[in-house]
Amino acid sequence: MINLRELSKNPERITSGHRLCAGCGAGIVARQVLIATGCIPVVVTSATGCLEVSTTIFPYTAWKTSFFHSAFENSAATCSGIEVAYKSLKAQKKIKEDIRFIAFGGDGGTYDIGFQSLSGAMERGHRMLYVCYNNEAYMNTGIQRSGATPKGAHTTTAPAGRVKQGKDQYRKDLTQIMVAHNIPYVAQSYIGNWNDLMQKVQKALAIDGPSFINVLTPCRLGWNYKVEDTMELARLAVETCIWPSYEVENGVYKINVEPKEKKPVVEFLKMQGRFRHLFKPENTYIIEEIQKNVDERWKILQFRAKIDYGA
């Protein structure tokens, strides 16, 4: 458990006054991640996306740490290159201080366009933390579907109408793909629980190797919900097990937040306009399919955690 009083003494490394939407989860992710770093020097790279375009509008910046903007597809590659340069300079004794490296990317720049960059950086073993602020679509360019978009969600490229009822496919399980890279630390988190996210960031940064955290990040514009419901939606995703909070450390699974009473997925879906069409009588079977998929995947995760801990 993080000491909140001590945490409040840490420097703010991203300022208010940026131009992210009201209720946007991306700014919350960046702020909490950077506060969790404490006073350690940090270099941040960020792919083009909502977080970057809204915090670095020339000639202004909201970042109060070293910041490098890279293209949509190569935040991880850029971060890994900087990390290698740092190691060389430190070996030459031109740099003495310890520095940590964090790459940010949205789901479009992580699950899809930037996957090759991410996979390569993780496989090579660079000491860096990659944080995916996962808002489940290409929100910056017009709410197009991505590999992270859930089944049934309405987007501009997978619309709900006469022919289709939102996205046909289930989302890609990128967290498990990262586990398959055999890196020291992989986790899923969410913005409705600052303690969960910050503990995972601190654990990831302490590891001498690559780490990855996939953070569910509600988007008021793309998900179509009330501005004040951002945190509540993130918590509901965990309480319904649509988005479990767990970590995999050196191959060992641990569920961090296990709901006392698992809520039905309909509680999460009904708060968002992107799922409104699913509540038509002829489409309720899609909700049933989503519930079945969530139940199956939750049982698999519980099985993995219990096997690893001998429960």
pLDDT tens-digit profile of 42-100?
A: 999 999 999 999 999 989 999 999 999 999 999 999 999 999 999 999 999 999 999 99
pLDDT tens-digit profile of 286-303?
A: 999 999 999 999 999 999
Cα–chain center distance at 149: 13
Q: Which amino acid is at 229?
A: D
Which residues lie below 8 Å from residue 163, measured CB to CB, with a gap of 6+?
Answer: none
The mean pLDDT value of the chain amounts to 95
List the CATH number of the domain containing 65: 3.40.50.970
The full DSSP string for 232-287 is HHHHHHHHTTSS-EEEEETTEEEEEE--SSPPPTHHHHTT-GGGGGGGSGGGHHHH
2 pLDDT band, cuts 50/70/90, is: confident
User: How many domains are contained in the chain?
Assistant: 1
Query: Is pLDDT above 90 for 36?
Result: yes
Domain extent at residue 9 = 4-309
pLDDT of residue 213: 98
pLDDT of residue 249: 97
Rounded to an integer, what distance in angstroms lies between the CA atom of residue 56 and that of residue 31?
A: 15
The full DSSP string for 20-50 is PPTT-HHHHHHHHHHHTTTTS-EEEEE-SSH
pLDDT of residue 6: 84
pLDDT of residue 310: 55
pLDDT of residue 309: 55
Query: Is pLDDT above 70 for 271?
Result: yes
Hey, what are 155's tokens?
């987007």
pLDDT of residue 308: 64
Q: What is the CA radius of gyration of the chain?
A: 19
311 pLDDT band, cuts 50/70/90, is: low
